[in-house]
């Protein structure tokens, strides 16, 4: 039977965590407004704010024992609603509006992103028992970021990359879940901080490109790729 003898302060703290999670909708809304005005830098900065909120709210939830204190509230559902907006819908809108795809394939590319992301969210085992994302996690915000701010691929190459990432949603590759996976947690968190910091700096200075920050950002992506290979095919079961 659930323990209901929690203090007002404990319940207030738990509700504050849910409100903090829900606050991710505010940068999501501002990102939509930014895309509508073709303010690409502002949009991506707001998406990074949402990413940071999503990255730390789980730690707060565990710290304040939110599940035990508020058993009738499901923070995961709140999280999924916001994540689908900030990791799938808004990036698809960004890619569609920014002209990153061939005009005749623009809507199709955005549709692929949304449909495969929805199916990915619905499948069992999106996160494994040992705390890895199984298959490419719905991180289309980062795909949009690299296509627009870092790489200079042609629209048809961007479309091919979208098809590639749609496919590997459903390939059983283990991707790092930095805030939950305990093995290599310290290097994972350090790389995650460098990833966010370097990319925010890239956005702030856009359209001026800085090779050093681009290199740091690229190294963090390479690290995640190497860890996926290690976690999937090298690490003992």
Closest CA to 45 of 195, 204, 198, 213: 204
- Rounded to two decimals, the pTM is 0.93
pLDDT value, residue 183: 79
Cβ atoms of residues 110 and 163 within 8 Å: no
Q: Rounded to the nearest 10 degrees, what angle do helices 40-63 and 25-36 cross at?
A: 170
pLDDT value, residue 1: 46
Cα–Cα distances in Å, from 210 out to 100, 135, 205?
21, 31, 8
Distance CA 68, CA 64 (A): 9
Q: Where are the domains of the chain?
A: 10-234
Distance CA 199, CA 220 (A): 10
In the chain (237 residues long), the average pLDDT of successive 10-residue segments reads 77 96 97 98 98 93 94 92 97 98 98 97 88 94 97 96 97 87 84 96 94 96 95 78
By three-state DSSP, how is residue 37 classified?
coil
pLDDT value, residue 2: 53
For 27-184, where are the E strands, in sequence order? 132-134, 174-176
pLDDT value, residue 4: 66
pLDDT value, residue 235: 78
């Amino acid at each position: 039977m659930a323990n209901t003898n929690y203090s007002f302060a404990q319940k207030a703290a738990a509700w504050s965590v849910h409100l903090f999670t829900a606050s991710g909708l505010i940068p999501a809304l501002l990102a939509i407004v930014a895309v509508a005005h073709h303010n690409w830098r502002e949009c991506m900065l707001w998406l990074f704010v949402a990413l940071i909120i999503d990255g730390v709210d789980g730690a707060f939830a565990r710290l304040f024992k939110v599940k035990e204190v508020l058993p009738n509230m499901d923070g995961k559902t709140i999280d999924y609603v916001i994540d689908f907006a900030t990791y799938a819908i808004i990036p698809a809108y960004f890619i569609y509006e920014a002209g990153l795809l061939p005009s005749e394939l623009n809507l199709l590319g955005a549709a692929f992103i949304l449909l495969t992301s929805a199916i990915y969210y619905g499948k069992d085992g999106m996160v494994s028992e040992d705390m890895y994302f199984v298959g490419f996690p719905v991180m289309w915000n980062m795909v949009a970021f690299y296509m627009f701010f870092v790489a200079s691929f042609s629209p048809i190459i961007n479309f091919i990359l979208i098809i590639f990432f749609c496919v590997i949603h459903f390939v059983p590759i283990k991707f790092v879940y930095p805030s939950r996976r305990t093995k290599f947690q310290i290097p994972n968190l350090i790389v995650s901080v460098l990833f966010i910091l370097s990319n925010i700096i890239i956005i702030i200075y856009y359209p001026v490109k800085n090779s050093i920050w681009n290199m740091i950002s690229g190294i963090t992506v390479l690290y995640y790729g190497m860890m996926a290979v290690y976690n999937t095919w090298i690490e003992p079961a």
